[in-house]
Chain A
Amino acid sequence: MDSAPEITFDGRADVDGAALFAPLALRLEAGQWTCLLGGSGVGKSTILRLIAGLETGVRFSGRIAASDGAPVARRVAYMAQDDLLLPWASVERNIGLGARLRGERQDRARLMDLLDRVRLREHLGKRPAELSGGQRQRVALARTLMEDKPVILLDEPFSALDARTRADMQDLAAELLSGRTVLLVTHDPAEAARLGHAINVMTPAGLTQVSPPDAPAPRHVDDPETLGAQGALMRLLRAEAA
């Protein structure tokens, strides 16, 4: 992996001539987790998809750039709420999908190492349908890591999981993605409070920065300061909605 750049997103988006969000500036610090919260339909996924270079159905005007000047879209790995595992392929083949799609040789040693790190080695021959929701999301995480990209875009990756599995996945992701520039779109104030090095709340009017707890991420689920930050975020989100 090349060293993780800082990413700046600067601009506005229109849908059918009407503004989806006003001009806003979002900075993803190099090697850090930036969390993006906000009401449904406010444009969080749109921002993430614009950074990934994916189709969005909005008209974007502005710029998306990396601190090192190199193009952004080619250096991102993408993970969404829907794990997007190919149902016909084994765990192993799902994790190795990127190399197969690019016609590259598979780095099997790395794949096996990643399987160990997401604790799925004994499941490598299984199909996604034979796995639990948490295991599937771990496969998706391994596939994301297999890409070995410096920028990681996560769109509510853990929101379909039960509370315990979600906390486990947050710890695992924080550990395995450390040192990369991460954008995490989430609905969950607790998640943002646990994982964010920077936390942004998005409204149609723009972004509000919220200072994260001082403890290093991932923070304990019962850390008082983290719980306090979670509460403050919740209050802010509800106030924005009102």
Chain B
Amino acid sequence: MKYGAALIATVFALLLWQAVVLLTGLPRFILPGPAVVAEAWWSNRAVIAEHTLVTALEVLIGLLLGAALGVVTAIQLATSRLARVLVQPMLVFTQALPVFALAPILTLWMGYGLWSKVAMAVLIIYFPVTSAFFDGLMRTPRGYLDLAQTMQAGKRSVLWHIRVPAALPSLASGLRLAAVYAPIGAVIGEWVGASRGLGYLMLLANGRAKTDLMFAAMLTLGVFSVLLHLAVRRATMRMAGEH
């Protein structure tokens, strides 16, 4: 049923796209139709696959590192008043900076390779993961804490047995958000300076007026992002308490 609906929506979108191309009569280097893009995708499949692999690697490493950093930071903040006083304002401030503005600096510091893109992905997901998990850790239902206190539980054991598990659904929503943001981070990094990756391929195709290839790369990125989102959603189902 869900898949049926997705299929119908996809077919509808493709028809709409084709209709716009036919009705406006735009040339294919401005707006190529779905068939043209599919053809470009097929004839460039080896190149697209290679660049997809690069972007996927950046995104996955970024996701893992960003999530780990976010989890550690949230626990630090939740357990230490000093950390809250010192670190929280900094976090909020860095969040107020547009991450795009940092991309050139990161490329300057870390070079054109994989790591500047990983760093972008990490930066863009670090805050949502940290703040979602931190909020969850600070909103432990009062009754659980009372119960634990009457059971003479120590701080650490309340953290591990009660606060962290009670906050896992919040962490799950943070991670799901991160799965949407991480590809954006990596592609921005690739736009600023790279020789590989889907973002790079899009720029390259665009520069050579290969609009059909640029669309093919963009749609590949979209499909990858959706699949990543679904995978993370699935992986975090237990965490979110959905069975």
Contact = CB atoms under 8 A, between A and B. Distances in A.
A188 interface: no
Nearest to A100: B161
A73 B150 CA distance: 7
Contacts of A54: 146, 149-150
A97 B151 contact: yes
Interface in A73-117: 73-74, 76-78, 80, 82, 84, 86-89, 97-98, 100-103
Contacts of B149: 53-54
B143 A80 contact: yes
Nearest to B151: A98
A147 interface: yes
Contacts of B146: 49, 52, 54-55, 78, 80, 84
B150 A86 contact: no
B147, B162, B241: most-surrounded residue (chain A CB, <10 A)? B147
Contact of A101 (B143, B151, B168, B241): B151
B150 A101 contact: no
A101 B161 contact: yes
Interface string B155-174: 00110011001101000000
Nearest to A73: B150
Interface in B136-189: 143-144, 146-154, 157-158, 161-162, 165-166, 168
A60 B148 CA distance: 22
A238 B144 CA distance: 34
Contact of A82 (B143, B158, B161): B143
A78 B147 contact: yes
A79 B152 CA distance: 15
Contacts of B168: 88
Interface size, A (range): 20 to 34
A193 to B, nearest CB: 28
A144 to B, nearest CB: 10
Contact of B157 (A78, A86, A103, A147): A103
Contacts of A53: 149-150
A76 B158 contact: no
A101 B162 CA distance: 9
A100 B158 CA distance: 10
A22 B241 CA distance: 46
Contacts of A103: 154, 157
A88 B162 CA distance: 10
Contacts of A87: 241
Nearest to A127: B243
B143 A147 contact: no
Contacts of A80: 143, 146
A102 B150 contact: no
A86 B162 contact: yes
A72 to B, nearest CB: 11
A49 B166 CA distance: 23
Interface string A124-144: 000000000000000000000
A143 to B, nearest CB: 9
Given A101-B157, A103-B157, A147 B147 contact: no
Nearest to B144: A84
Contact of A102 (B147, B153, B162, B165): B153
Nearest to B158: A101
A80 B152 CA distance: 17
B242 to A, nearest CB: 11
B157 A76 contact: no
Nearest to B149: A54
Interface string A207-242: 000000000000000000000000000000000000
B165 A88 contact: yes
Contact of A86 (B144, B151, B153, B154): B144
Given A100-B161, A101-B161, A84 B147 contact: yes
A169 to B, nearest CB: 19
Contacts of B165: 86, 88-89
22 contacts: A49-B146, A52-B146, A54-B150, A55-B146, A74-B152, A80-B143, A80-B146, A84-B143, A84-B144, A84-B147, A86-B162, A88-B165, A88-B241, A89-B165, A100-B157, A101-B151, A101-B154, A101-B157, A102-B153, A102-B154, A103-B157, A147-B151
Given A84-B143, A102-B157, A103-B154, 18 more contacts: A49-B146, A53-B150, A54-B149, A54-B150, A74-B152, A78-B146, A86-B162, A86-B165, A86-B166, A88-B165, A97-B161, A98-B151, A101-B154, A101-B158, A101-B162, A102-B152, A102-B154, A103-B157
